[in-house]
Amino acid sequence: MSYKSVLLSAFTILIFLPAVSVAEISEEPHWWDNFSMTPGAGFRHLGVDIVRKSDRYHGNISNNGLSQFVFALNIVFNEIQLDDDGRVYLELQTFTSLITLDHQFYEIQSVGDSNYGERVDVGTSLSGYYTYWLPSIKYALKLPAGGEMSASLGVGLWDSSFDGDIILTPNGQPVSSMATTDISFSTFDELAYMVNLKWETAGGWIYMMSVGGTKFSDASYDYEIEEVSMIVGKIIYF
């Protein structure tokens, strides 16, 4: 077991033990009864930035930006209140998705550390899955009309596996006539982060925006994965 798995296990124990102790004393529902699911739909962008170590040629491949409509299922385990006012909570979030990335970023202009361009289909694609487990701290404000607004920050583990090809260039300007590079990678227990902004109505509807990602390397490439999503769903408590 890696040190990252140990970290996640420790966080999970910290989340679950208080609920187990409360259940033993007050006969409240057990921790496995305390979770919520939010089926929903919206827009999700997943981008993978790949840099070849030998020559620093690079490319960025993603799904079709935030113009691609997706279905989503977010799960939150065992939300534990940490303060007397009901504003600070500890929770465990998880998400899994199968996805195909088939648009590469074509750089038109670079200003400092910012690149400007467009997503183009040059015939390359990466297909696979990703999943994450993120213990998170949430700060929530109850609304006068019911419901709440909240922000949360999570740090945990990211697993993923992708296969396909990409065009790597020195200037970030791929075209379909260029040679492709085969890419295959699998990650396990990579550290990841996630920031969530959420509005829950009194009727249980959720409007959520999330930004997160991870970085890792293998013998030949450096990788950076970023996820941005905007989802509307209906929360279901158990």
The string of pLDDT tens digits covering residues 78-87 is 678 888 887 8
Q: Tell me, what's the pLDDT at 13?
A: 47
Which residues, at least 6 apart from 200, have a Cβ–Cβ distance to it below 8 Å? 147, 148, 149, 150, 206, 235
CATH class of this structure's domain 35-237:
mainly beta
Q: How many CB atoms lie within 10 A of CB 153?
A: 14
Residue 66 to residue 103: CA distance in whole angstroms: 12
Q: Tell me, what's the pLDDT at 40?
A: 87
CB 47 within 8 A of CB 65: no
pLDDT at position 114 over 90 = no
CB 195 within 8 A of CB 8: no
Q: Tell me, what's the pLDDT at 78?
A: 66
CA-based end-to-end distance of the chain: 32
Residue 16 main-chain phi, psi, to 5 deg: -80, -35
Tell me the average pLDDT of the chain: 84
pLDDT confidence tier of residue 178, bands split at 50, 70 and 90: very high
Residue 103 to residue 121: CA distance in whole angstroms: 5
Task: Kindly state the DSSP code that residue 169 receives in the 8-state scheme.
Answer: B
* Strand ranges in the chain using DSSP code E only, listed in sequence order: 35-52, 58-62, 69-81, 88-101, 103-111, 114-120, 125-142, 148-166, 181-200, 205-217, 221-234, 236-237
Residue 194 to residue 153: CA distance in whole angstroms: 6
Judged by DSSP in three states, 16 sits in helix
Which segment of 6-20, 75-89, 171-185 scores lowest on mean pLDDT? Answer: 6-20
Residue 227 main-chain phi, psi, to 5 deg: -120, 135
Six-digit token string for 236:
């279901």
pTM of the entire predicted model: 0.80
